[in-house]
Amino acid sequence: MSTRPREQAQPLLIVGSMAFDDLDLPSEKARDVVGGSATYASLAASLFAPARIVAVVGQDFPDAALISLRERGVDTAGVERAKGKTFRWWGRYADNLGSRETLDTQLNVFADFRPILPDAFKDSPYVMLGNIHPALQLEVLAQVRSPRLVVADTMNFWIEGERKLLGEVLAKLDLLVINDEELRQLAGIHNIRRAAAAVRRLGPKKLVVKRGEYGALLFDDNGTFFAPAYPLDGEIDPTGAGDTFAGALLGYLANVGEIDTANVKRAMMMAATVASFCVEDVGTRRVERLTRQELAWRLDELRQLVHFQA
Amino acid sequence: MSTRPREQAQPLLIVGSMAFDDLDLPSEKARDVVGGSATYASLAASLFAPARIVAVVGQDFPDAALISLRERGVDTAGVERAKGKTFRWWGRYADNLGSRETLDTQLNVFADFRPILPDAFKDSPYVMLGNIHPALQLEVLAQVRSPRLVVADTMNFWIEGERKLLGEVLAKLDLLVINDEELRQLAGIHNIRRAAAAVRRLGPKKLVVKRGEYGALLFDDNGTFFAPAYPLDGEIDPTGAGDTFAGALLGYLANVGEIDTANVKRAMMMAATVASFCVEDVGTRRVERLTRQELAWRLDELRQLVHFQA
């Protein structure tokens, strides 16, 4: 599963949120942690391909965070700095990290976000639509000239209220990445296999279902594939692990270029590996200091986890 | 993963419960379903090896159920028919089968069960101790001359109250099969990996953690292995799936004879396959009519589920 250097891969575009997260974790209360789906996803994607990010931040957002992204190969030319405060989320995790509750959400500048792509981003062959209003997702797609692969990740907020627009987005997707509860809600079917079949009929030929610590399932025309999660022994902060998974998945696909079932399987194994690192420290810290060697070693462990001689 | 005919395998001994289950399922209310851990486990094990069962039933237990077990290769000489009524459990499942509650438990003759092995059973090389009081598990072990492999499956009722005796049992085990919540309770540690390490220090060198629809994990001196669950699209009744998994696991190991990591991995894949059938009909019905061809096909599907070219 060797990958080429990032610079040799085609660029990918990620639209989503950038945020300050206040995290009440069992290990600490972390404040003003730079997060948001676009932050996590682009950092993970940039391990494999040049990532372009479209998002909005407020005047309170530190330049240092954008510089840090750029140093890791993320093009932040699409990050708009708007008047007001950055999107902020406050969450409290259970002692065992198995569940969390939202204590506060302040949309701030994210409430009026209208994603505008810099001209240089409009040729992006790989596109990930993060968890923003489906009308905005459609606006983003309208600005991209001829994408090779359109992926959406997570759409929980819009399943109830924006069914029709969501349907328009689904029809334009090549790959939908979604967690299992969203899938059930979207399909109105509890059984994962039947829910997946129903959602695939709405558009995305390929569907990746994220199940957190229980791994991820792929459903496509060639059948079903399961990528396990890496069994960690020291979870610190699960925030952003799903975004990290999706970003690494798209990054790997942009790196290899050929979007077939075999590569999506490999991309899922890689994505599960990168996501496992995300959970090992607060925010993006662990992925920021991740080395190629660490990634290769753990990927090999993950492969061994499901390996047996029949 | 070819297996030899059952008759060529060494016999295994299973001690556990036989019961009438009343099952409030989403699809039907099933009454007087013949169940119990020993019933499910021995039926599954007998697909691969001669199974010997030690259990107690009441005067109300139908001969036909014992005959049916014998027809499938289960030696029921160790089933004691006691004065009184058979153990009875009444459970109600949620609409999505994701959870269940116990509405009533009547121990009846099971309350005074003292497992006595027929002489012909005392040479059993493979032994499974089901979910009975640890004092009784020790009594069973004392009656077996020189077991090659001692397995225990599920011990939730005794973790709180019988810690010391449970420790004695654990020290005598080669393999413990347990579900994830039991593992956490037994270790007093939430993290699966660390909990597994702690429980392995109490005795069983090999530990298989059952996670229901999320698969099963093996922890042993050679590392960690994950066997996925088969993603079903028509679950009917999950009752006994865990017992079926454990029974098939032991049956497969008795069939191949050599208890090494590679064979335990194969046994887990086989066990996951057999258990998936259990869920497809009420009680033991689906496993009773399971054919070798169906088993082989689904096992192959399960292998494909985690197969990818690195």
- Which class for B60: exposed (0-12), middle (13-18), buried (19 or more C-beta within 10 A)? middle
C-alpha neighbours within 13 Å on the C-beta side of residue B200: 18
- Chain B partners within 8 Å of A224 (Cβ): 231, 305
* pLDDT single digits (tens) B191-214: 999 999 999 999 999 999 999 999
Is B217 part of the contact surface with chain A (CB cutoff 8 Å)?
Answer: yes
- pLDDT in the model for residue B156: 80
- A163: which strand partners? none
Contacts 24+ apart (CB under 8 A), B130-133: B130/B14, B130/B15, B130/B16, B130/B17, B130/B37, B130/B38, B130/B41, B130/B154, B130/B243, B131/B16, B131/B17, B131/B37, B131/B155, B131/B156, B131/B157, B132/B15, B132/B16, B132/B17, B133/B158, B133/B162, B133/B165
- pLDDT in the model for residue B154: 80
- pLDDT in the model for residue A285: 97
* pLDDT single digits (tens) A6-44: 999 999 999 999 999 999 999 999 999 999 999 999 999
- In this complex, do A308 and B262 lie within 8 Å of one another by their Cβ atoms? yes
- pLDDT in the model for residue B138: 97
> What's the mean pLDDT in B132-143?
96
Other Cβ atoms closer than 10 A to A31: 11
- Chain A partners within 8 Å of B1 (Cβ): 310
Question: Smallest Cα–Cα separation from B306: which of A302, A99, A204?
Answer: A302
Q: What are the backbone dihedrals phi and psi of residue A86, each rounded to the nearest 5 degrees, phi first?
A: -70, 145
- The whole-angstrom distance between B45's CA and the closest CA on chain A is 20
- The whole-angstrom distance between B310's CA and the closest CA on chain A is 5
* pLDDT single digits (tens) A214-249: 999 999 999 999 999 999 998 999 999 999 999 999
- The whole-angstrom distance between B205's CA and the closest CA on chain A is 18
pLDDT for B273 beyond 90: yes
- pLDDT in the model for residue B99: 92
Sheet holding A100-106, edge to edge: A29-35, A19-24, A88-93, A100-106
* pLDDT single digits (tens) B28-70: 999 999 999 999 999 999 999 999 999 999 999 999 999 999 9
- pLDDT in the model for residue A49: 98
pLDDT for B161 beyond 90: no
Is B90 part of the contact surface with chain A (CB cutoff 8 Å)?
Answer: no
pLDDT for B310 beyond 90: no
Report residues of chain A scoring pLDDT below 70: none
- Mutate one of A225, A306, A309 to test the B interface: name it (highest B CB count within 10 A): A306
Q: Report helix, strand or coil for B276.
A: helix
The DSSP symbol for B247 reads H
- pLDDT in the model for residue B210: 97
- Quote the mean pLDDT of chain B: 96
- In this complex, do B1 and A310 lie within 8 Å of one another by their Cβ atoms? yes
Partner-chain residue, chosen from A224, A265, A304, that has the shortest CB–CB distance to B231 = A224
- Which class for B194: exposed (0-12), middle (13-18), buried (19 or more C-beta within 10 A)? middle
- In this complex, do A232 and B305 lie within 8 Å of one another by their Cβ atoms? no
CA distances from B310 to A46, A112, A303, B177, B181 (A): 21, 44, 8, 31, 33
Other Cβ atoms closer than 10 A to A138: 14
State the Cα torsion B92-B94-B96-B98 to the nearest 10°.
-90
- In this complex, do B226 and A305 lie within 8 Å of one another by their Cβ atoms? yes
Cα–Cα distance between B114 and B91 in angstroms, integer? 26
What is the model's pTM? 0.95
- Which residue on chain B is closest to A300 by alpha carbon? B310
Residues 56-85, chain B, touching A (beta carbon < 8 A): none
- pLDDT in the model for residue B214: 95
For chain B, the straight-line distance linking the first and the last C-alpha, in angstroms and rounded, comes to 22
Is B211 part of the contact surface with chain A (CB cutoff 8 Å)?
Answer: yes
Residues 256-285, chain A, touching B (beta carbon < 8 A): 262, 265-266, 269
